Amino acid sequence: MSETISFDDFLKVDIRTGTVIEARPFPEARKPAIILIIDFGPEIGVKKSSAQVTVHYAPEQLVGRQVMAVVNFPPRQIGPLRSEVLTLGFEDEAGAIVLAAIDKPVPNGRRLM
């Protein structure tokens, strides 16, 4: 477990919902990945993310899916892609990433509380 943080520390991490509007393979990545284009609604807009989720997901399975992502980290250059948000998931027992899930639809751009 990590060190204890304050609620104010938690609020600094801006986690929002978005809908994947495009997903395609990312063959230039060092580790197998998929490029996600995610719509976070009018306030945040459309952002790109590289997600190492190829064990459990194919690109066509991700389009239309709501995901959660940290939207206030600085962008990261991953090969030729500028990843603008960090899409969230959990490691399964084998270390493959399973996307964090939202069990009922919510508007894009809503903040995790």
Amino acid type, 94: A
In tens digits, the chain (113 residues) has pLDDT values of 889 999 999 999 999 999 999 999 999 999 999 999 999 999 999 999 999 999 999 999 999 999 999 999 999 999 999 999 999 999 999 999 999 999 999 999 999 98
